[in-house]
Copies of this chain bind each other. A is one copy, B any other.
């Protein structure tokens, strides 16, 4: 058994989560292109592809390189990259091995990509802001960006958005409705500019079940493979579907509370405004992680008797993508056996 803290995957639950999303996409006749930033694991990407995913989404060129190197041959960098000579060269180097697309969200970004990728097979998707207000153009401006890309000779595959405002209580369905509306308007804007969107891509784990599969042609959820305390608290996944936990040890009873050796350097420091603490304990659903530092989680057990020092306890991180990125290895458990899986694209921010 590895020393605590370590991240453990329940492989049966992971497989089930992968199957559920694959079935949702199949039932709606849309493509599934999971975002692998969540797990950064070649083993898990292969399970997703085996279940019917058409390819993968990544966030960075480094992630694309890692998965292409392991034979995954259909990759969308779902990010409005600002390319330079070096990153453009890294992308074109991959086109021998993989079908590749990137995001753009401005006329300047499209022109820059066209200048640097011109003549390559790299396609572009225009990013649309559907209400998250992070990156992405307004739906009515999508056509201008697509036209700018097309003018440079780039092939425009279509549109994508991330309904990240689904990460709020009661927003799961409304964010999906916003997504549908924005993508429909953006598709109209593309057509008015003379570009037919072949792919209309969206989806997020919280809004997944509410996705408008008559508008979307592709879904890109990431977190659904594992789930996390955010999904638990948003109600988008049930505690018994959560497939990744941090195995930790009770090291102290200071102040009559439980102190675990899992801190922000393995759980991540995420705490959304709606989060009830810094993670959740499956064995103690009423408990709350009330204080988190780098190597301590202080847990209020809500009146339950304190487990003895040395007891092992599982913690579900708030945001699993950031937790996985903190370790070199995750441990996949099946039938009591632990298999080490490398986090192959760990830390590849560029």
Residues of A within 8 A of B (CB): 2-6, 37, 59-61, 79-82, 84, 86-87, 105-106, 108-109, 112, 129, 133-137, 164, 249-255, 259, 261-266, 268-271, 291, 293-296, 298, 309-310, 319, 321-322, 325-328, 347, 349-350
Q: How far is the CB of A4 from chain B (nearest CB, A)?
A: 6
Copies in the complex: 2
CB of A6 within 8 A of CB of B251, answer: no
CB of B82 within 8 A of CB of A261, answer: yes
CB of B294 within 8 A of CB of A59, answer: yes
Contacts of A5 in B (CB 8 A): 349-350
Contacts of A259 in B (CB 8 A): 80, 134-135
Known pairs A135-B259, A265-B325, A322-B264; A252 contacts B80 (CB<8 A): yes
Known pairs A129-B255, A349-B5; A82 contacts B269 (CB<8 A): no
Contacts of A87 in B (CB 8 A): 3
Contacts of A255 in B (CB 8 A): 129, 133
CB of B269 within 8 A of CB of A319, answer: yes
In the complex, which of the residues B129, B265, B269, B309 contacts A349, with contact meaning CB atoms closer than 8 Å? B265
Contacts of A309 in B (CB 8 A): 82, 106, 108-109, 112
Once the chains are docked, how many angstroms separate the CA of A271 from the CA of B263? 15
Across the two chains, which residue of chain B brings its CB closest to A246?
Answer: B349
Q: Which 6 A-B pairs have the closest CB atoms?
A: A3-B350, A269-B270, A135-B252, A82-B251, A269-B269, A135-B254
CB of A254 within 8 A of CB of B296, answer: no
CB of B269 within 8 A of CB of A322, answer: yes
Q: How far is the CB of A329 from chain B (nearest CB, A)?
A: 9
Contacts of A249 in B (CB 8 A): 82
Once the chains are docked, how many angstroms separate the CA of A137 from the CA of B349? 41
Q: How far is the CB of A293 from chain B (nearest CB, A)?
A: 6
Once the chains are docked, how many angstroms separate the CA of A327 from the CA of B62? 13
A sample of 19 more A-B contacts (CB under 8 A), given A134-B298, A269-B271, is: A3-B86, A5-B349, A6-B350, A37-B295, A60-B295, A79-B251, A82-B310, A106-B309, A133-B298, A135-B252, A135-B259, A135-B296, A136-B252, A264-B268, A264-B270, A265-B325, A266-B349, A327-B347, A328-B347
In the complex, which of the residues B80, B133, B254, B291 contacts A105, with contact meaning CB atoms closer than 8 Å? B254
Q: How far is the CB of A14 from chain B (nearest CB, A)?
A: 20
Q: List 26 A-B contacts (CB under 8 A).
A: A5-B349, A6-B349, A37-B295, A59-B294, A80-B254, A80-B259, A82-B249, A82-B261, A82-B310, A84-B310, A106-B254, A129-B255, A133-B255, A134-B254, A134-B293, A134-B298, A135-B251, A135-B254, A135-B296, A137-B254, A262-B349, A271-B271, A294-B321, A326-B347, A326-B349, A327-B349
